[in-house]
Amino acid sequence: MSTFKLTYKPFGESAILIEWPQIISIDILDDIRNFSFIINKLNLKHILEVNFVYSSLLIIYKSNKIKYIDLKKELQFIYNEKSVKKNNFKKTIWEIPVCYDIEFGIDLPFLSSQKKISIEEIISTHSSSYYTVFGIGFLPGFLYLGGLSKKIHFKRRDTPRLEVPKGSVAIGGKQTGIYPKSSPGGWHIIGKTPISIFEINREKPCLVMPGDKVKFNPISKEVFKTIKLEVEAAIYKLKSVDK
């Protein structure tokens, strides 16, 4: 299983941060996901929570049950254990509807003028890629999506907005993402989805998992309104394909 040189460091009084090489890589993401799966499968009583994003894995543990140095040794042994086989995870491709109308994509004209390409080309470029979910944060359900075409990379806003509407699809630097609820934000808004990525009352609050892929499907304002009604009536089913 071991492929990468990892670093371990304390993170507060009851957490340990494990870091892989600091690059955006699907191989690294798969390795982290596999390590996380094994830790959870072992059901270690002193571990409370396991979270990962990009090239880091954060483990929260019961500091009154195990010392940092002992947990570090335990985790190193688990990672380096050659008998542990790599798991073939099911990865889901989620097809997320997005309306790129100017009413929702309020930063499209600005991006078009700055990048010197048409709004139509921005939309076409953004909706033609398959994005990898490299992590979930800074809000519950906020997807950090890698794979954005260099053609539409653009730095974050100099002044963040105090409120970005729920469902806004946006670009920030080399990434794209979806705001799961209304919140402050500094990314450039190019569209909106009528679906809810995160709902606390669902059995599985966040539909999407790190390692999954996302494909944005352009829709009209009329279709947006229809889907929104179906979502509110709890009859809309998000399209997905398992691979």
Q: What confidence tens digit (pLDDT) does each residue in 20-39 have? A: 998 888 889 889 988 988 89
Cα–Cα distances in Å, from 194 out to 39, 50, 99, 178? 36, 30, 8, 11
Least confident of 46-50, 86-90, 169-173: 86-90
Q: Which residue has the higher pLDDT, 209 or 192?
A: 192
Domains of the chain: 7-80 (3.30.1360.40), 92-242 (2.40.100.10)
Place of tokens 């809309």: 236
Q: What would the mean pLDDT of 13-19 be, rounded to a whole number?
A: 95
H or E element in which residue 217 lies? strand 213-219
- DSSP reduced 3-state for 195: coil
% of the chain with per-residue pLDDT over 90: 64
CB 96 within 8 A of CB 236: no
Q: How confident is the model at residue 14 (pLDDT cuts 50, 70, 90)?
A: very high
pLDDT of res. 85: 57
Q: How confident is the model at residue 2 (pLDDT cuts 50, 70, 90)?
A: low
Q: What confidence tens digit (pLDDT) does each residue in 44-70 have? A: 999 998 988 889 999 999 999 999 999
Encoded tokens for 126: 């953004």
Q: What would the mean pLDDT of 74-103 be, rounded to a whole number?
A: 82
Q: What beta strand segments (E) does 119-198 contain?
A: 130-136, 143-146, 161-164, 168-172, 175-178, 183-185, 188-192
| Sheet of 7-10, strand order | 7-10, 15-19, 56-61, 47-53
* pTM for this predicted structure: 0.81
